[in-house]
Amino acid sequence: MSLTAAILGANGYGGSGLVRRLRRHPEIGAIRYGSRTLAGQPLHAAWPNLAGLEDGVGDVRFLAPEEAIEGADVVFLATPHGATAPWVRMARAAGARVIDLSADSRLDAATYSTWYGEHPHPEDLEHARYGLVEGHRHELPGAGIVAAPGCNATAVSLALLPFAVEGLLSDQDTPVCTVIAAASGAGRTPAPGLHYPELAENARPYKAAGTHRHLAEIEATLGRARSQGRNLRSQGAFDAYPVSFTPHLVAGIRGILATCTFRPARSTNATELHDVLQDFYRTDSVTHVQNELPDMKAVANTDRVLLASRLDERSGLATVFSVIDNLGKGAAGQAVQGFNVAFGFTETTALEMEAPWP
């Protein structure tokens, strides 16, 4: 098979990872790069790292988004929240299947409207499958729309998912999840808080106290897991499971480190916590459960997840850690992983598995 793929928003940070992965994907024969602002310009106008590469990229130019969609078998949407739903519609009308990296296909219409405002095309949402592959793998094959999860949602959900499935998350408890997130998660548009001299040597909390929109995904995923077990269903009613979530922006390029602390629903020990993680992810491809507390950098530029757990014997609280690259497993990598499952390819095709070090 040789597919034609389109990438919309190919000049942004989500697009960067898609360009990298799809260019070497053996099942993709042609790529059409869409960018409203750079249409007509060569790829290296956006990506200095691509200057001079010999495989024809130098000749390839960005297209207007509408043009990029034409003739595509699959359209990857790395476009902003709120503005993406119309592209979903247009791509599907043109006969393509969609991998949506925005939030526009992740939630049911009611939840979406709570966090993002009215959804313009709620009727399309029934075709969407939530692309957290580790929970939704079974329902992705053949999906018309795969909704790649948010980066913070991915890190937190994967840390707690096994415990939700195993009944270790209690109704009497609210897990406290904090995240350390590098700057690329905020996108490529210059902004005062991301100006180098302002962010260097700095760290700051943001969207604290239940105001970050990724909470909707996390609470849906954990709620579903508590009632549905391992094979989660994107459609249908569910009871959300509330968590506390506080993200912190730090001075770094890539990476999310999630720290999730909860009181287990029953008496447990450190070994059991570790085994719950280990067992849950035993057959998964991009996750790895380890004893050592993870380095965020050990997954930089990859699509992998490292997880570890600890039990505080004094307080009885469990803490689970996960690290991802927000642009890898948190964006383009997860999108390609979902694409692979949806199209029946080997799940890790074209994924990044080995971080450079240092």
Q: Footprint of a second copy on residues 229-288 (CB under 8 A)? A: 242-244, 246, 248, 250-255, 257, 259, 261, 263, 285, 288
Nearer of residues 91 and 351 to a second copy, judged by Cβ:
351
Question: Residue for token digits 């948010």?
Answer: 150
By CB under 8 A, tell whether 56 contacts a second copy: no
Q: Is 324 among the residues that bind a second copy (CB under 8 A)?
A: no
28 binds a second copy (CB under 8 A): no
Q: Is 16 in the site for a second copy (CB under 8 A)?
A: yes
Tell me: does residue 349 bind a second copy (CB under 8 A). Answer: no
Q: Which is nearer to a second copy, 83 or 293 (CB)?
A: 293
Q: Contact with a second copy (CB under 8 A): which of 30, 90, 265, 298?
A: 298
The CA distance from 108 to 126, in Å, is: 8
Q: Which of 76, 130, 238, 321 binds a second copy (CB under 8 A)?
A: 321
Report the C-alpha gap between 320 and 177 in whole angstroms: 9
Rounded least distance, CB 41 to a second copy, Å:
13
Task: Determine which residue in the list 300, 324, 341, 342 makes contact with a second copy, applying CB under 8 A.
Answer: 300
SS3 of 201-248: the string is: CCEEECCCCCCCCHHHHHHHHHHHHHHHCCCCCCCCCCCCCCCEEEEE
Nearest-approach distance from CB 11 to a second copy, in angstroms: 11
Count of residues in contact with a second copy, rule CB under 8 A: 88
Catalytic residue among 50, 96, 146, 151: 151
Which of 67, 198, 239, 279 binds a second copy (CB under 8 A)? It is: 198
Residues 88-117 that bind a second copy (CB under 8 A): none
- Residue ranges in 165-194 that form contacts with a second copy under rule CB under 8 A: 174, 176, 178, 180, 182-184, 188-192, 194
The structure tokens listed for 173 are 């408890």
How many angstroms separate the most distant Cα atoms in the chain? 62
Q: Please name which of 97, 95, 38, 92 lies closest in space to residue 64, comparing C-alpha atoms.
A: 38
Is 26 an interacting residue with respect to a second copy (CB under 8 A)?
A: no
Single out the segment in contact with a second copy by CB under 8 A; choices: 68-76, 160-168, 221-229, 347-355: 347-355
Q: If you count them, how many residues does the chain have?
A: 358
Nearer residue to a second copy within complex by CB, 93 or 200: 200
Q: How far is the CB of 322 from a second copy (least distance, A)?
A: 11
Q: Is 135 a residue that touches a second copy (CB under 8 A)?
A: no
The verdict on whether omega for the bond into residue 358 sits within 30 degrees of 0, i.e. cis, is: yes
Report the amino acid identity of residue 13.
Y
The yes or no reply on residue 312 touching a second copy (CB under 8 A) is yes
Instruction: In whole angstroms, give the CA distance from residue 128 to residue 333.
Output: 18
- Under the binding rule (CB under 8 A), the answer on residue 12 touching a second copy is no
Clarify whether 151 is annotated catalytic. Answer: yes
- What minimum distance in Å lies between the beta carbon of 155 and a second copy? 12
C-alpha–C-alpha distance, residues 172 and 152, integer Å: 24
Window 203-232: contact mask with a second copy (x via CB under 8 A): xxxx-xxx----------------------
SS3 26: coil
**Direct distance between the N- and C-terminal alpha carbons of the chain, in angstroms, rounded to an integer:** 37
CB 127 within 8 A of CB 342: no
CB of 217 to a second copy, least distance (A): 15
In 3D space, the residue among 319, 279, 322 whose CA is nearest the CA of residue 304 turns out to be 322
- Within 8 A by CB and 6+ apart from 221, the residues are 130, 132, 135, 149, 153, 157, 161, 164, 232
Residues classed as catalytic: 151
